[in-house]
Structure formats: structure tokens, C-alpha cells
Amino acid sequence: MMQQKRPFPYGTLILSIVALVSVPVMIIRYLYGLGAMSNLSDGRAWGLWISFDLYCGVALAAGGFTLAALVHIFNAEKYHPVVRPAILTAFLGYIIVILALLVDLGQPWYIWHIMINWNIHSPLFEVGWCVMLYTGVLALEMSPALFERLHWRIPLRFIGMIQIPLIIAGIVISTGHQNSLGSMLLLLPYTLDPLWYTPILPALFFVSAVAVGPAMVILESTLSGMAFGHAVKLDVLSGLGRIIPFFLGIYLIMKLADLAAAGQLDMIVNSYPQNVYWLAEVIVGVVLPMVLFSIPKIRNNRAGLFGTALLVIGGLIFNRFNVSLLWQEIRPGYTYFPHWMEFAVSAGVIAWAIIVFMLAIRLLPISEHRGEAEAPAGRVPEAAAS
Amino acid sequence: MSKGVLYDGNRCIGCRSCQVACKSWNRNPAEDTTNKGGYDNPPRLSATTFTTVRFREVDHNGKFHWAFAKTQCMHCLHPACEGACPVGALKRDKDTGAVVYDDGRCFGCRYCMVACPFGIPTFEWDDPLPWIRKCTFCSGRLDGGLEPACVTACPTGALQLGEREDLITEARARISASPDKYVDHVYGEKEAGGTSWLYILPVPFEEMGFPALGEEAPTENPHIAMRTLPYYAGGVVVLMAGFYWLTKRKQKLSHTGDKHGKKEGVAK
Ligand code: SF4
Ligand code: SF4
Ligand code: SF4
């Protein structure tokens, strides 16, 4: 079922401009080097792209595996209508990561070295593999939408057969991936501020990603509901709103217990100005949403859900920036603020992803997906009906 | 046993012969620099400068010191850069202790630069095909039985190549022979799990821009995390498959006789 074609006057125009601006910037990078279009330096070798596109991009893609687990493993059928959009969002998150890495890596065409030269002790080795594998898994998880549109029964049936193993693989890979992004920072005991450095960083990364996953689904459903006019049932979204505080609570307890165990709770008060950042991250992004989501009036209201989800997402982004950029010591004698072309790349990459997203929603049965195809036991015979 | 170099700040005269020798041995071009009032020139390490001498005016114990310190890769015993590199492009040679870089593996992720607690690896920022660059401990010369170029060039013996253990003993002996001339610390003996290059100085190390580091090797925590990861992943698989089986079973029990009854293989 094709929906009515509506013209997109401004949104698409702005998106296209942002997407197009990134093209000459990438050309500059490949002609003159990273120094010509970024303020990265020997003092600050990782900047905006790693913090935003990699750290935030991967965390914000967590909606994919959390919803897949919720629906396919824990059988919470109610959330079925949002699984596909969630997985699509995750897929796009990973596309963002990959596109950004194409600019950020010094020699991206040698990325395959990671397949033959193994340093299994390197957290980045794990991250690299997870990006590759999970993008593949997500593509396979997405593929039924394409096959349904094309009426290809045999590949559809095949995907249906391996669906549950695929979903479990996706969950395991992304679980490991969220963890490993935290492990990457474990190599910085001396340069990451002690308010954030802890051996349990991998676990903190994982739990916060699980909390932000449903928040991203709320955000994405609300936005695409506004853009395409097929709103997801409020009941589904408030259900997600009820899950989030639970994980935020675990996250908060872990964070505090960890500081307490290290005897460093006083840093929350004493280590100015880090503590301001830490408190902002924890109060605005964790405590406040916990309170708001537990108020039924807010939870049963689209605007309330949307706003609170934004807080969770904002808090997570702030956390990832704190650990991956702001409170990592810079080498003496250097300063860093992103060059406008760095912003242009990050924005451009997102614009490209959104364009793909919108095309996918228009062309593939994603949102109006009627929720039977992969329902109980991974069987897909009805698919051809769409 | 692995090799090390001892730098003695009381023997160094700040002549920068080591810098020049390093440049010529590694065929690194000169850098265009501007005088900003300091003596450090070039002001810091870069893709074409693997070592620089730091010059600082320091007031220590009521005495004025015109102090120097050569900087370069410390060739850690547990290098953070080696632990970071996903493709093993940076490796510590067990015999010499040199931490060497293989550009045949690197793909330019720069994690090594972020991870190094001493701020050493540098990158070719202005090259469209950039690599990592850093001091090599002149590992080719070491393998051939020569001293590093900088050590050979040093006119005063401020740089001394030797077995690391011997150098630590030697450093201690020098400190106890003239305790008024040195601060009582061998930098690199314990820092970040120990380094091959060792320093003794007449002034406190922070004054010369050495980071104050603990004794824990930076690779320790990530190694624990990476070692537990497979078990963790296995646990998640079992858990997910288990839950899936449970929910299916519950469903099956409540839907007995359902036409969708027979199940395709549960995930394994
Ligand atoms: S000083 Fe830095 S670059 Fe040199 S071996 Fe140690 S971690 Fe690696
Ligand atoms: S930049 Fe090269 S040497 Fe450094 S960690 Fe990445 S792949 Fe390894
Ligand atoms: S050991 Fe070799 S590469 Fe390192 S500073 Fe000395 S001369 Fe330069």
C-alpha cells in the first residue's frame, strides 16, 4: 500500500542542502588531509566525529536491539508496531557511524586490516567487528521489508527461518558493542577525569544504552508520526515510558555505588567544575526523567512523553561528550573546538541518513507493517499479502 | 631483560644534538617554526619531530635552575598504544623493549594517540594518506648492535643505553651519591607500569611537564574487560535463547491445538 504522495517543501530542501554541503568538504579531506578541514591535532586526535557520530550514534541506535529483545524474546506483543521503525533507526545509526568513519579514519580503505590483523585485547578491535557484524545483521533484519515490497517469497522465507537466531545475534553483538565503547575508555586511566573513569564503564555504557533505546523509539515514532501522519498508539509509547525509569534507576544506582565504593563520592561536591557537568548529566538526563515518566499524567500524554524522552537522550549525549571529549585531558599546549567543516560532516551524514530513512518509510512497508509477518515463531507465509 | 635509556638532567647541556641526529637518522625534514619566546624548538613533537628538548627556568629549593629534558616515546613496558591498536600495528619488541609501528597494518584510527598517557604518537594531519609517526627507539640500529642515533650523538653522556635493570641501579647510585643535585625519583621506573626510558632530574618532574602517573599499567582494566567479554556474550546468548524458549513454551501451553502449533527450531 503506497500512501498518498505529499510534497515536502522546506524540510527536504534544508536536508538536501545540508547533505550536499558535506560533499565538497569530504573532497577537501581527501585532497588536502584531515588538517585542512578539521581542528583535530596531535593534542586532540579524536573530536566531534568520534564523540557525536560514533559514541552517540551507537548509543542512540540502541532502540533496535532493546525493542527486538522486548518483542521477539520477551514476547511483549504490544510493542510490535514499533519494532521495524526501531530497527530501521538502528540501521541508520550504524550507517551514520560508518559514513563518519570514512571521513575520520586516516586510511579507511585499509579498514579490512581489522579482519586479518587481530589484536583481541583492543576494545576498538571489538568495536570495529561489532560495527561490521551488526550492520550486516540489521540489514538482514530489515530485508523482509524489502522482500515484501518486491514479493520475493523465497528469500523472505529464508530470513523468516533464521529470524530468531538473527535477532539473538543482533542482541549479543550490540550488547557487546555498547560495552566495548565503554571499554575503549578504560585505556585512559590517567587522562579521563576520575569522576567518570571507573572499571565498570562498560556496564554503565550498556545500561544507559538500554535506557535510551526506548526513548529513541518514542522520539522517532513521534517525529515520523508528525511527518507521515500515522501515529503510533499512545498506549505503546507510554508503555515504553514506563520501562525507561527502571533502567535509568539501575544506571543511577550503579553510578553512585561505584563512586561510593571507590570512596570518591565527595568529588560530586568538590571537583569543580567537573561536578557541574556530572550533575547536569545525572539530574537532567537521569533523575528528572525518572520522576517525569512516573507521573501518569505526563506518561499518558504525547507531548509529555516526547519531552521526557528528549531529556533522556540529551542526558546520554551529554554523558558521551563528557567522557569522550570534554573531560579527557588534552595534550599541553593544544586547544580544540570543532571546525565548521567538522560540523558540516556530522550534519551532512545525518542528513543523508534521514533522507534514506524517509525514502525507506515511503517505499517499504515499515510503519504500516501489520505486525503478523514475523510474529510468533518466525514464520512469514503471510508476507506476500502486503 | 630489555633495553632502556637513562636520561640524566644534570649531564644534559641542552645542545639538541639528539634532536638533530634523530631528524637525520629518520630522514625527517626540518620544521618551520615561529619564535614565541620559549627555547623549545620545535615547540612539541610532530609527525616530523620524534624528539625535542624542553627548556624550563625552575625555582627549586631556593635555587634557580636552567633545566632541560629530552622528550620522546617512553617505550612503555605495558604500552597503552599497543593495547589500543585494533590491528596490532604498534608492538613492543620483547628483546629490545622498543615499541615499534608497522604502517602496513595501520588504518589511521588514532586510538593510539588518544590512549598514550605520555601524549607521544603524532599524525600526518596535512597528508591525504596519513600515517602515525613516533620515536622508534631506533629499533633497526638496536637490532644491528648500534645505539640509538640520539644516544650516539649525545656529547656528555646524558643519554645512556643499557639493560633497564642496570640503568635503574645506576640511576639510584647517582641520586644517592649527590642527593642535593637530584630529586629523589627515577621517572619511568614505575610510571604507568614502567617504561624503558628513564629519567633523573635536578628539579621536580611536574615542573618539566612530565605527567604525574600512578603505577597501574593502563592496559590492565581493558584487558580484564576484553577477557570477560566472550563469557559475557555467551551468557547473553544463553539468556536470550532461554527466555525465548520460556515465552514460547508459555504461549504454546496457552494455545494448545493452535494451528501455528509446531515451532521452528529454537535459536541455537
Ligand atoms: S609512550 Fe606512548 S607511544 Fe610510547 S610506548 Fe608508551 S604508550 Fe606507546
Ligand atoms: S592509528 Fe594505526 S597504529 Fe594507531 S591505533 Fe589506529 S590502527 Fe593502530
Ligand atoms: S631513539 Fe631514535 S627515533 Fe627515538 S628519539 Fe632517539 S634517535 Fe629519535
Q: Is the CB of A183 less than 8 angstroms away from the CB of B214?
A: no
Option in A106, A123, A161 nearest B226 (CB): A123
Question: B36 alpha carbon to ligand 2 midpoint, in Å?
Answer: 32
Does the CB atom of residue B118 touch ligand 1 within 6 A?
A: yes
Q: Which of residues 184-213 of B touch A (CB under 8 A)?
A: 192, 209, 211, 213
* pLDDT by position in tens, chain A (length 386): 445 555 555 778 898 999 999 999 999 999 999 999 999 999 999 999 999 999 999 999 999 999 999 999 998 889 998 988 898 889 888 989 999 998 999 999 999 999 888 998 999 999 999 999 998 998 888 888 888 888 888 888 888 888 889 999 999 999 999 999 999 999 999 999 999 999 999 999 999 999 999 999 999 889 888 877 777 889 999 999 999 999 999 999 999 999 999 999 999 989 889 999 999 999 999 999 999 999 999 999 999 999 999 999 999 999 999 999 999 999 999 999 999 999 999 999 999 888 877 787 777 776 554 443 333 333 333 333 33
Q: Is the CB of B126 less than 8 angstroms away from the CB of A106?
A: no
Q: Which residues pair with B187 in a beta bridge?
A: B199
Does the CB atom of residue B149 touch ligand 3 within 6 A?
A: yes
B108 with B117: CB under 8 angstroms?
no
Q: pTM of this prediction?
A: 0.90
Tens of pLDDT, residue by residue over A30-74, are 999 999 999 999 999 999 999 999 999 999 999 999 999 999 999
Residue nearest atom 1 in ligand 3 by C-alpha distance: B137
Query: Among all residues of chain A, which has the CA nearest to that of B216?
Result: A189
A22 Cβ neighbours under 8 A, 6+ residues apart: A344, A345, A347, A348, A349, A351, A352
Task: Give the pLDDT confidence score for residue A375 in this predicted structure.
Answer: 37
Residue indicated by cell numbers 558521551: A320
Cα distance between the two ends of chain A: 7
Q: Which residues pair with B71 in a beta bridge?
A: B52
Q: Is the CB of A176 less than 8 angstroms away from the CB of B108?
A: no
Task: Give chain B positions within 8 Å (CB) of A134.
Answer: none
Closest ligand relative to B132 C-alpha: 2
Q: Is the minimum CB–CB distance between A125 and chain B shorter than 8 Å?
A: yes
* pLDDT by position in tens, chain B (length 268): 799 999 999 999 999 999 999 999 999 999 999 888 889 999 999 999 999 999 999 999 999 999 999 999 999 999 999 999 999 999 999 999 999 999 999 999 999 999 999 999 999 999 999 999 999 999 999 999 999 999 999 999 999 999 999 999 999 999 999 999 999 999 999 999 999 999 999 999 999 999 999 999 999 999 999 999 889 889 999 999 999 998 888 888 877 644 444 444 444 3
Task: Give the pLDDT confidence score for residue A378 in this predicted structure.
Answer: 36
Interface test with A, best of B46, B52, B226, B251 (most A CBs within 10 A): B226
**B130: phi then psi, degrees, rounded to nearest 5:** -85, 150
Measured from the CA of B153, which atom of ligand 3 is nearest? 7
Q: Which three cell numbers stand for residue B177?
A: 651519591
Residue indicated by cell numbers 533505546: A213
**B76: phi then psi, degrees, rounded to nearest 5:** -60, 155
B125 with A104: CB under 8 angstroms?
no
B63 Cβ neighbours under 8 A, 6+ residues apart: none
d(Cα A95, Cα A107) in Å, to the nearest integer? Answer: 18
- Please state, in angstroms and as integers, the Cα–Cα distance from residue A149 to each residue in A157, A224, A274, A385, B207, following that order: 14, 20, 52, 10, 68
Q: Which three cell numbers stand for residue A320?
A: 558521551
Q: Is the CB of A106 less than 8 angstroms away from the CB of B123?
A: yes
What count of other Cβ atoms lies within 10 Å of the Cβ of residue A135?
19
B20 with B53: CB under 8 angstroms?
no
β B197-200/B3-8 pair status: parallel
Task: Give the pLDDT confidence score for residue A353 in this predicted structure.
Answer: 84
Superfamily assignment of A43-330+340-368 in CATH?
Formate dehydrogenase/DMSO reductase domain (1.20.1630.10)
Q: Is the minimum CB–CB distance between B119 and chain A shorter than 8 Å?
A: yes
Tens of pLDDT, residue by residue over A94-153, are 989 999 998 999 999 999 999 888 998 999 999 999 999 998 998 888 888 888 888 888
**SS3 of B45, please?**
coil
Crossing angle of helices A80-104 and A123-150, in 10° steps, is 130
A334 Cβ neighbours under 8 A, 6+ residues apart: A41, A42, A43, A44
Residue indicated by cell numbers 544507559: A208
Question: B93 alpha carbon to ligand 1 midpoint, in Å?
Answer: 13
Q: Is the CB of A108 less than 8 angstroms away from the CB of B108?
A: yes
Task: Give the pLDDT confidence score for residue A367 in this predicted structure.
Answer: 58
d(Cα B203, Cα B181) in Å, to the nearest integer? Answer: 9
List the one residue out of B55, B64, B46 whose CA is nearest residue B12.
Answer: B55
Does the CB atom of residue B152 touch ligand 3 within 6 A?
A: no
Q: Is the minimum CB–CB distance between B229 and chain A shorter than 8 Å?
A: yes
d(Cα B196, Cα A90) in Å, to the nearest integer? Answer: 45
Mean pLDDT estimate for chain B: 92
Cα distance between the two ends of chain B: 48
d(Cα B69, Cα A44) in Å, to the nearest integer? Answer: 23
Task: Give chain B positions within 8 Å (CB) of A326.
Answer: none
Q: Is the minimum CB–CB distance between A34 and chain B shorter than 8 Å?
A: yes
